[in-house]
Amino acid sequence: MERSIGIGLLGAGTVGGTLVSRLIGDADAIAAKTGLTFDVRKVGVRDLAKERPFPVTDGLLTDRLREVIDDPGVELVVELMGGLDPAGDLVLAALEAGKPVVSANKELIAARGPELIAAAERSGVPFLFEAAVGGGIPIIRPLSETLAGETIDRVIGIVNGTTNFILTEMSENATSYEAALEAATELGYAESDPTADVSGADAAAKAAILASLAFGTWVGVEDVFCEGIEAVSAADVAFAAEFGYAVKLLAVCERTDAGVSTRVHPAMVPLEHPLASIRGATNAIFIEGPAIESLLFAGPGAGGGPTATAVLGDMIDAARETLAGAQVAPRIRFSPGELVDFTEVFTEWYMRLVVDDKPGVLAKIAGGFGDAGVSIKSVWQEGVNTEATLIVVTHLATERSQREALRSLHAIDEVIEVGSVIRVLGDGP
Ligand code: NAP
């Protein structure tokens, strides 16, 4: 027997529009597999006159968003608006009204996750957000449920398709950062304002969610160290390839005896690491733990189709739980834990310097590193006329020490330019 579930949708853009079309076009297949049909009762949007990719029946659309939640026929709320405001208060109101919520909004979950999860727990309803990280890649459920029995050590993700596309272009076609960004915009990978992608902010929200679920300690987006790809040059990408690395924007979530650290920054990834081969707009998440050793999840991290599939999975899950009639316990509990300040995290650095090609310069540079307690792993040098390019890769040292070494380099007269600094992905804790 089929059971119909009344849906209230907040937002009908790229993902929401695709979702409604799928609910109509794939209704029979979904019903055959799950015994469920989804009846979209209300859709909240900003612009009532905008064309939609689905039939708009009388009274379906509203710009009075509270109507979506308050409609007595709405049993499940799907939030696909994005942003913090008004999405946050609407999701909270739906949960407080005892309605299950499915959301794809990483920004909201990273900012108000504990409050919303607590509201869902009080009401005994599911609050699911599989699509918030990795688009179509199943990663939230594996982390919070399937791997709940594993003591995860580290999660490393390529969680922003735009920046991975840009870095792949720079690497494979020797394109400049600016030209690669232009290509990403032309192909629709980058927004007209790509700041959230290239600055790492989008990846930082996803990193906060991944770390929180992996370690069971809440990590807010404000706890994530974040550096974007704006300063990565074509020269760095070319040097990386020469030395056996690919440059990737990584979200790194790590647990050591000292606590949990979470960061987003460009990194030199050894070519033999599975993440080095993730090309274009593809996303991937690599999980390490003592029993599972390592797992790789990879696939389309965005786009209406893949993201709508993740949202649909959550809707089916939430509908099943609701129909079972039980009070739903949260899928993960968070306990207090130590968050390690990034300056105390151990990292390995790659640095590209331009120096006066004079005797004794190398000794001065080595002295700067030594005084900061950083030892050098390798140095490569190439001289052109009176200048030399120097590539220095350091051994593991705390960020504090690495930064101190960097400051001392700036104070050396013969150092003309510190071209760039990129962290190297090491073996982990
Ligand atoms: P989108 O295309 O910009 O659509 C947003 C929708 O929400 C639009 O229908 C818009 O109404 C409505 N909306 C936004 N603010 C509103 C407001 N203040 N009042 C009323 N309606 C409002 O966004 P999207 O790409 O579908 O993304 C939706 C969510 O999914 C976001 O949280 C995003 O991070 C997440 N997500 C997206 C992708 C992806 O590939 N796009 C992947 C993973 C996760 P109008 O249509 O009237 O303008």
Q: Looking at residue 91, which CATH number applies to its domain?
A: 3.40.50.720
Q: Which of 324, 357, 385 marks a domain boundary?
A: 324
Q: Could you give the 3-state DSSP secondary structure of residue 178?
A: helix
What burial class does residue 334 get, using C-beta atoms within 10 Å of its C-beta: 0-12 exposed, 13-18 middle, 19+ buried? middle
Given a cut of 70, the residues of the chain with pLDDT beneath it are 1, 428-429
Tell whether ligand 1 has an atom less than 6 A from the beta carbon of residue 134: no
Residue 108 falls inside a structural domain: yes
Q: Which among 15, 139, 202 is the best mutation to test ligand 1's pocket, defined by most ligand atoms within 8 Å of the CB?
A: 15
Residue 254 domain-assigned?
yes
Ligand 1 site, residue 306, Cβ cutoff 6 A: no
What local confidence, expressed as pLDDT, does residue 125 receive? 95
- Count how many Cα atoms sit within 13 Å of the Cα of residue 86 in the half-sphere of its side chain: 14
Residue 263 belongs to a domain with what CATH number? Answer: 3.30.360.10
The first and second tokens of residue 227, run together, are 């550096």
Domains in the chain: how many in total? 3
Instruction: Confirm or reject: Cβ of 283 under 6 Å from ligand 1.
Output: no
Residues 121 and 9 in one domain: yes
The domain that holds 394 is classified in CATH as: 3.30.70.260
Whether residues 310 and 228 fall in one domain: no
Q: Is residue 309 part of a domain?
A: yes
Q: Is there a single domain that holds both residue 225 and residue 240? A: yes
Query: Residue 188 is part of which domain span?
Result: 148-299
User: What CA–CA distances, in Å, run from 241 to 51, 124, 164, 171, 247?
Assistant: 46, 52, 15, 8, 8
Residues 111 and 187 in one domain: no
* Alpha-carbon span 174 to 238, nearest angstrom: 8
The answer to whether position 141 is within a domain reads no
pLDDT score for 198: 97
Does residue 233 sit in the same domain as residue 293? yes
307 CB under 6 A from ligand 1?
yes
What is the 176 CA–ligand 1 centroid distance (Å)? 31
pLDDT given for residue 429 in this prediction: 58
Q: Within 10 A of 145 (CB to CB), how many other CB atoms are there?
A: 12
The pLDDT of residue 326: 73
Q: How far does the chain reach from its first CA to its final CA, in angstroms?
A: 52
Query: Is residue 140 assigned to a domain?
Result: no
In short, whether 228's Cβ falls inside 6 Å of ligand 1 is no
Q: How much distance in Å is there from the Cα of 135 to the middle of ligand 1? A: 14
User: Which tokens in the block code for residue 407?
Assistant: 């400051």
Same domain, 23 and 102: yes
Q: Is residue 336, in this structure, part of any structural domain at all?
A: no
Domain for residue 72, yes or no?
yes
**Looking at the structure, do residues 293 and 363 belong to the same domain, yes or no?**
no
Which residues are catalytic, by number? Answer: 206
State the pLDDT at residue 191: 83
3-state secondary structure 361-414: HHHHHHHHHHHCCCCEEEEEEEEECCEEEEEEEECCEEHHHHHHHHHHHHCCCC
* Pair (206, 96) in one structural domain: no
* Residue 47 Cα: closest atom of ligand 1: 47
Residue 143 per-residue DSSP state: I
Q: Whose CA is nearest to atom 17 of ligand 1?
A: 46
As a whole number of angstroms, the distance between CA 327 and CA 60 comes to 30
| pLDDT attached to residue 269 | 98
Q: Say if residue 99 is in the same domain as residue 156.
A: no
Residues 104 and 242 in one domain: no
- In-domain check, residue 335: no
**Cα 103 to middle of ligand 1, angstroms:** 11
Same domain, 418 and 355: yes
CA of 152 to the centre of ligand 1 (A): 33
Same domain, 250 and 365: no
In whole angstroms, what is the distance from residue 270 CA to residue 31 CA?
46
Q: How far is the CA of 381 from the centre of ligand 1 (A)?
A: 49
